Structure 1
Amino acid sequence: MSRLSSAAQPTVLAAPALLLMAVACGLCAGGNYYNQALLHSIALYFGVDDAAAGLSVTVAQVAYAVGLLLITPLGDKLERRRMAVVLMLLAAVGHALVGWSESFAVFMAGTLMAGLFSVAAQVLVPMAAALAAPGHAGRNVGLVLSGLLVGILLSRSVAGGLSAVGDWRLVYQVTAVTMVLMALGMRSILPTSRHPQPLPYVHVLRSMCHLLRTQPALRLRTTASALAFASVSVMFATMALVLSAQPLQLSDAQIGLVGLAGVTGALIAQMAGRLADQGRGNALLRWGALTLLLSWLPLWWGHANVWWFVAGVLVMDLGLQAVNVTNQSSIANLLPDARSRMNAVYMTGYFAGASAGSALGVWAWNAAGWLGACSMGAVLAALAALSVWRGVRWSQRQGLTQAAPAT
């Protein structure tokens, strides 16, 4: 197949290719969340305390954020299909290290490697936007992000289920093999895609700073989404700890099933993409921010009743996806020639928020248990809501006017 570019593209992604990208994104992102449902088992296996095991959640997210900052901008320099394939193969190596680890040090090293190279998912997101039919970039982004979301949510259930069948390492072993097969499938099915004017790496990194300085919409949307994901990460970093403790005492498999409550967020992801294409994202942003804040009330009640916890997870994930997909769809359309760099800035901030939220959640848990975690999560959700309201007011005043394109 001839080389495709992100500009003046006569060929767009077919439905099977989009579906493959969605599945690949889910596999890449989901692998970073297996440990959240397995923390207690990991701690017992390596003979460490819950706080040490919980550190693996932060390591995975920090590694992912570093990969977003330093690796994904290369999508504006390198051929994107080949880049995504190579990154998936490297992530598979990281999962293999975790899956066959016999020491906590090797487990953490594999967690770091898998997190760093799983940013293949964020190479595919701007690629889906670049190869979209006119007026359908938001739809493509929403569909691919739906796959990413379902992968994250199913990851906890799959991890818990396979842990019950074998032990906690089985899910990593299966994922390593599956990622290799998925990478080969992507190489066969996806079209090539390259920036019309590939840029030197140093220039790519420098231009990201320029974009951050000159694009107020990028700053505002990134801040709002980072705070929203930080709030959600407080819950996910401590979920296994509260659900495995008295009075609920759930198993790994049961904890994984609780995560399925958020699968309905995939519906919001697709709807948000369409609404963004129609210019109606601001209302969805407000609704998402308010929903996220309110979700902490049933989550607090959920420490003694699993059904309240399930309801809180469902409501929380609806709110997060409304905020994230709306913002990311908007970012994808701001500067088409800088999609990978814009997405890298946005997602670096997004997962930096997740890393901070995980660390703050574990700290709050150690300080005051589930009450401390819920209080921390609610404060971060309130800050996210304030940031969303500020961003919406700004966009209404400015009409999302853009600065000069990055050079």
Structure 2
Amino acid sequence: MGRNTVLAAVCAVAVASIYAAQPALAGIGADLDVPAADLGWIVAAGQLGYLAGLALLVPLGDLRDRRRLIAGHLVLTAAGAVVAAAATRLWVLLAGLAVAGLFAVVVQTTVAYAAASAAPGERGRTLGAVTSGVVLGILGARVAAGALATVWGWRSVYVVLAVLLVTLAGVVLKTLPPDPRPGRSSYRDALADLGRLFRERLFVSRGLIAFFLFASFGTLWSGLTLPLSAAPWRLSAAQIGLFGLAGLVGALGAARAGRWADAGFARPVTLGALALLAVSWAAIGQAPWSLTLLAIGVVALDFAVQAVHVGNQHLLTTAHPETTSSAIGGYMLFYSLGSALGATATTTAFAVAGWAGSSVLGAVFALCALAAALTGRGRPARRCRSAPGRPGRSRRSARRTTGGRAGSS
């Protein structure tokens, strides 16, 4: 099994622990007596745990051997999944999902490992390959979780995830080379690097795009089970999960986004993809009347999300080669907040205005992402002076590293 394959598998299974509940929300709600308007919190719990992990755990990747971090965090994610599987009350389920989400940030440590170990001219291609595992986990989890929930109940989803996570931890230790982090001395320094990023225009711009991008994404995937499980369709969890295949087709269709970023076309690809994202909601909004139009919209939405996401990560890891974990972790803070917003807002919008309300909400988020891309153009800001004994970079160095058109996106 090749290195990129192992890394993609880690990303797929770890991120699935956050999204696996979505096709089974109706069943979880019935089992634990959760009102429909509150179902979004089941998904949001994992996202909020993920948010905490991005701030507190991902910077460790700039200090410690990432291979060992990946293995350890996989095991702890499995522990959260076991708690969720055994939950008989809502608060226990939320606690288990929050723990799983906290350590599922192993995804970002894995992406940083891949970016740091790739040759500069191949970074976009490598990121595209590894983050395809993230897409597989987010969307494929809906298919697998829907099938498992229909046959054995929703608890079986988390049992299977726990087994896969522990197995992958062993594979990582056996197959991946060590990844020591020389020249980094303290956790405080790593957190300081993360804080400095929020004063950089490129970082903040890409973060805002990610916030609205994944709010739109979360609006679809956290709310889609509601119209499809209701009249006139009344689909089962397994049938709802099959829509993940449509999303997977769209997202994997954007696998070349990394190569486009390598070639310096991050900005035009981002703008075009965000326009497509907004338009896709016109088709997604037809879910109560046409499953065909819904499938078309899902393909378009996930193509757009993946294209923008890979381009964003390419730009940030290129601009910050010494602190890729902090750059990825900080960027994904915006992702997590946006996903949590979409998950909670879509169920509320559906309760008030049906799927039409959720669709308008998703389209508004998409337009906000496009506005952020149009107004946030600029080169990376000057790096703050590094702490003594640690490498620093000037504006000129950052500009050279970012390279051509990509650096000014």
| TM over 0.5, shorter chain | yes
Asked if structure 2 preserves the Cα contact closer than 8 Å seen for 1:211 and 1:406, the reply is: no
Report how far residue 246 of structure 1 moved.
1.0
Query: Does the aligned pair in 2 maintain the 1:276–1:326 contact within 8 Å?
Result: yes
CA distance in 2, matches of 1:299, 1:232: 12
Choose 303-312 or 340-349, whichever is displaced more: 303-312
Distance 1:269 1:21, change over 3 A: farther
Report if the CA contact (8 A) 1:291-1:315 is conserved: yes
DSSP 3-state at the match of 2:255: helix
Could you tell me which residue of structure 1 aligns to residue 279 of structure 2?
A: 294
1:365 maps to 350
- Aligned residue type for 1:73: P
Residue 1 (structure 2) pairs with residue 21 (structure 1): no
Where 1:270 maps in the other structure, the secondary structure is coil
Question: What secondary structure is seen at the aligned counterpart in 1 of 2:303?
Answer: helix
Residue 208 of structure 1 is matched in structure 2 by: 194
Are the aligned partners of 1:146 and 1:269 in contact in 2 as well (CA < 8 Å)? no
Figure out how many residues of one structure are paired with residues of the other and give that number: 387
User: Alpha carbons of 1:41 and 1:92: their partners in 2 closer, same or farther (altered >3 Å)?
Assistant: same
- Structure 2 counterpart of 1:154, from 140, 151, 159: 140
Asked whether the equivalents of residues 63 and 116 of structure 1 are also in contact (C-alpha less than 8 Å), the reply is yes
The match for 1:4 is none
The C-alpha deviation readout for 1:240-268, integer Å capped at 9, x for no partner, is: 11110111111100000012111124434
| Partner of residue 343, structure 1 | 328
- Offset at residue 401 of structure 1 (A): 6.4
| Cα distance change on mapping 1:266 and 1:199 into 2, 3 Å | farther
Query: CA deviation digits over 1:213-264, x for unaligned, max 9?
Result: 1x21111011111111111111112111111011111110000001211112
Matched to 2:263, the amino acid is Q
- In the alignment, the residues of structure 1 paired with residue 63 and residue 86 of structure 2 have an alpha-carbon distance, to the nearest angstrom, of 35
Contact kept in structure 1, 2:247 and 2:298, CA below 8 Å: yes
Residue 166 (str. 1) matches residue 152 (str. 2) = yes
- CA 1:159–1:292: 2 relative to 1, 3 Å: same
For residue 223 of structure 2, the aligned residue among 238, 244, 252 is: 238
1:273-294 residue CA offsets vs partner (Å, 9 max, x unmatched): 1111111111211111011000
Q: 2:291 aligns with which of 284, 293, 306?
A: 306
1:248, 1:306 within 8 Å by CA — same for their partners in 2? no
Secondary structure at the aligned position of 1:304 is classed as coil
Residues 406, 340 of structure 1: alpha-carbon distance in 2 compared, 3 angstrom cutoff: farther
CA contact (8 A) 2:50 2:104 kept: yes
Q: Secondary structure at the match of 1:31?
A: helix
Given that 1:365 and 1:373 are in contact with CA atoms closer than 8 Å, whether structure 2 keeps it comes out as yes
Match of residue 86 from structure 2: 100
Q: Structure 1: which amino acid aligns with 2:266?
A: G
Q: Does the 8 Å contact 1:234/1:361 carry over to 2?
A: yes
One-letter amino acid matched to 1:207: D
Distance in 2 between residues matched to 1:193 and 1:278, nearest whole Å: 28
Q: What does residue range 40-119 of structure 1 map to in structure 2 within 5 Å?
A: 40-119=26-105
Partner of 1:137: 123
Cα deviations across residues 77-111 of structure 1 (Å, max 9, x unaligned)? 11111011100000001111112222222211111
Q: Hey, what's the Cα distance between the residues in 1 that align with 2:159 and 2:109?
A: 24
The question of whether the paired residues in 2 share the 8 Å contact of 1:210 and 1:406 is answered with: no
Tell me which amino acid in the other structure corresponds to 1:302: A
Q: Distance in 1 between matches of 2:170 and 2:251?
A: 26
* Counterpart code for 1:196: P
- Shift in CA distance, 134/328, structure 1 to aligned 2, threshold 3 Å: closer
Whole-angstrom distance in 2 between the partners of 1:70 and 1:379: 31
Residue segments in structure 2 that go unaligned for 5+ positions in a row: 388-409
Counterpart residue number, 1:3: none
Contact 1:264 / 1:314 at 8 angstroms: preserved in 2? yes
Equivalent in the alignment of 2:268 = 283
TM-score normalised by length of structure 2: 0.91
- Distance in 1 of aligned mates of 2:10 and 2:75: 12
1:355 aligns with 2:335: no
2:383 alignment partner in structure 1: 403
* Maintained 8 Å contact 1:284/1:323: yes
| 2:305 alignment counterpart | 320
Inter-partner Cα distance in structure 1 for 2:20 and 2:81: 11
Structure 1, unmatched stretches of 5+, are 1-14
Q: Do the aligned residues in 2 keep the contact of 1:100 with 1:173 (CA within 8 Å)?
A: no
In structure 1, C-alpha distance between the alignment counterparts of 2:365 and 2:261, rounded to whole Å = 25
- C-alpha distance in 1, partners of 2:133/2:162? 19
Q: Which residue of 1 aligns with 2:113?
A: 127
Contact 1:149 1:265 in 2 (8 A): no
Relative distance call for 1:383 and 1:236 in structure 2 (3 A) is: same
Query: How much does 1:348 deviate?
Result: 0.8
Query: Alignment partner of 2:285: what SS?
Result: helix
Amino acid at match of 1:143: A
- Most deviating of 48-57 and 59-68: 48-57
CA contact (8 A) 2:51 2:336 kept: yes
User: 2:296 and 2:253 mapped to 1: Cα distance?
Assistant: 16
Shift, 1:55, TM fit: 1.1
Asked if the contact 2:251/2:304 (under 8 Å) is kept, the reply is: no
Secondary structure at 1:198 match in 2 = coil
Which residue in the other structure is 1:8 paired with?
none
Distance 1:359 1:54, change over 3 A: closer
